[in-house]
Amino acid sequence: MRKLNVVRCGLSQKNVHDKLLHALDCDYVRSYEEKNLEIPLFCSQDLDAQALGRWFAGQSTVPDIFVVSTAKRVRQTLHAMILNQSRLETIPWNIDRDVIAIDGESQEQTCRRAQKWVKEVRKRYVDWHVCLITDHRFALAVRKVLERWDDETFLRISCELKPGNCDVAEYRGHRLSLEYFNRNYLEKERTQ
């Protein structure tokens, strides 16, 4: 694989629900009814995802393929990204049911699946620029594999430096070449 972008999906309705409960200082209750795969984006025309699409379209090279999980919010993120971006609209995309954290799955199980996925993608897309769009947990599991994080680093980044919605990490081989698109690009776009 020539290059890999790991993208966290846009803001989900569940994220907004959880933040609201926290802001109201309510006892945290997992009252959100939808199953993980059916949780939609908070707004189907997610502005962060559209900005991400503009960023990708403005790069010298665009991905050869988008790999997305089966989760509704992930597919909606892709659709918002490619909206009105002619350089992105023709890129093929592949739905992969293995690229999302599964309800009830341990961190270790998710990381093992991420390791298997990275190995398979390297074989299947040898000279390709692959863009993976997935949920927070699977995105971090892929990063753990590629950057060889120990469990402590994984937990610290997951809790303290949590990637934002539509964040991108970019790899050339095992080397991280871009981190936290959202913090470096979207903030500039919002203030202009």
CATH, domain range 3-191: 3.40.50.1240
Q: Is the pLDDT of residue 31 over 60?
A: no
Average predicted confidence (pLDDT) for the chain: 83
Asked if 147 and 156 touch (Cβ cutoff 8 Å), the reply is no
Are 26 and 151 contacting, i.e. CB atoms less than 8 angstroms apart?
A: no
Residue 136, pLDDT > 90, answer no
- pLDDT, tens digit (0-9, with 9 covering 90-100), for 91-114: 999 999 889 888 788 889 999 999
Domain ranges of the chain: 3-191
Least confident residue range of 65-69, 130-134, 142-146: 142-146
Burial degree of 62 (CB within 10 A; 0-12, 13-18, 19+): middle
- What is the biggest distance separating any 2 CA atoms in the chain, rounded to whole angstroms? 50
Q: Is the model more confident about 70 or about 160?
A: 70
| 37-46, 94-103, 128-137, 153-162: range with lowest mean pLDDT | 37-46
Strand partners, 168: 7
Read off the pTM.
0.85
